[in-house]
Amino acid sequence: MKVFKCLDEIKEIGYTATALGNFDGVHLGHQALIAEAVKQAKEKGLKSAVFTFSNHPKNVISGTNMVKNIIYNDEKEAILEAMGVDYLFSLDYTKEFGAMTPQAFAAELLVKQFCVKHVVCGFNYRYGYQAQGNPQTLIEQGCIMGFDVSVMDAVSLEGSVVSSTLIRGLIAQGEMEECSRYLGRNYSIGGQVIEGNHIGRTIGFPTCNITVDETMVTPASGVYVTRCKVDGQMYPAITNVGSKPTIGLYHKNVETHLLDVKADLYGKEIRVEFLKKLRDERKFDNIEALTEEIQRNCDTAREYHKLLKKQ
């Protein structure tokens, strides 16, 4: 898959079937829409493409980080490539994009830059100045400009529409198993391992500490069964998200203990996948009580990972 990060890079790409959307989670609903674009491309002899913004338009418009990410750009690219997408148009959203009329958006971007012959969008897709463009105007413009349009219905699971807003809420509440169902994969966050206070090491449970990534949705404070990816290798793990109230006053962080693995990971980049929440974070009477609880949590996490292997 070729990734284009600015308009000047897009040259001689051939005609495309292009999926349009924020794709800020590449959840099951997004995947259905992208799969339709890949299907249309194969049937019509076109290149399959996805057009999205690398940053969220609402954050640019508001000047704040009001919409938290639920996927990293590298993770998004890997998923799209695995789905058979030929081109990813991943552009930085600017206020200039927001000022384009729906007609200019279709003519200058879709037709001139992306060479669309088929477009796939969701039922609630909006584009152009003040979001004036919608699927119906896109269909009308396609008739004039020479491209077809497929409008996809919402994807639902057990009566709930799959959406990035719903998934953000599930992550913030610590409902990681539900989150995985709607995402179609486990939610993960990552960062560079930093030096902590070494309390975990002194009580027999050394941890990899990373600071909370403020651009990503942070799971609710608590203890989770997780998997930790280091240097391409995945390890069974257990993770605490929170401020360690038994130890003292700390900023919220993420600390992961690799089960039955000893390794010095300071300075390493790790990615932590959240599988299931075991309990809320709470303050214990003393370090001994905390240590006993951590041991119980690790035993539970080991059993969970054993069951996963059998599935």
In residues, how long is the chain? 311
pTM, rounded to two decimals = 0.89
Q: Which of 225, 222, 226, 224 is nearest to 245 (CA)?
A: 222
The structural architecture, per CATH, of the domain 2-157 is 3-Layer(aba) Sandwich (3.40)
**Residue 191: φ, ψ to 5°:** 165, 180
What's residue 107's pLDDT? 97
Domain coordinates of the chain in residue numbers? 2-157, 186-310
* Angstrom distances, CA of residue 214 to CA of 14, 63, 180, 218: 39, 15, 21, 8
Cα–Cα distance measured from residue 62 to residue 64, given in angstroms and rounded to the nearest whole number? 5
What's residue 87's pLDDT? 98
Cα–Cα distance measured from residue 30 to residue 20, given in angstroms and rounded to the nearest whole number? 10
For CA atoms 216, 220, 226, 230, the dihedral sign is: positive
**Residue 252: φ, ψ to 5°:** -60, 130
What's residue 117's pLDDT? 98
Same fold, 2-157 and 186-310: no
Q: Does domain 186-310 correspond to CATH entry 3.40.50.300? A: no
Residues of the chain with pLDDT under 50: none
What's residue 91's pLDDT? 95
Cα–Cα distance measured from residue 259 to residue 206, given in angstroms and rounded to the nearest whole number? 10
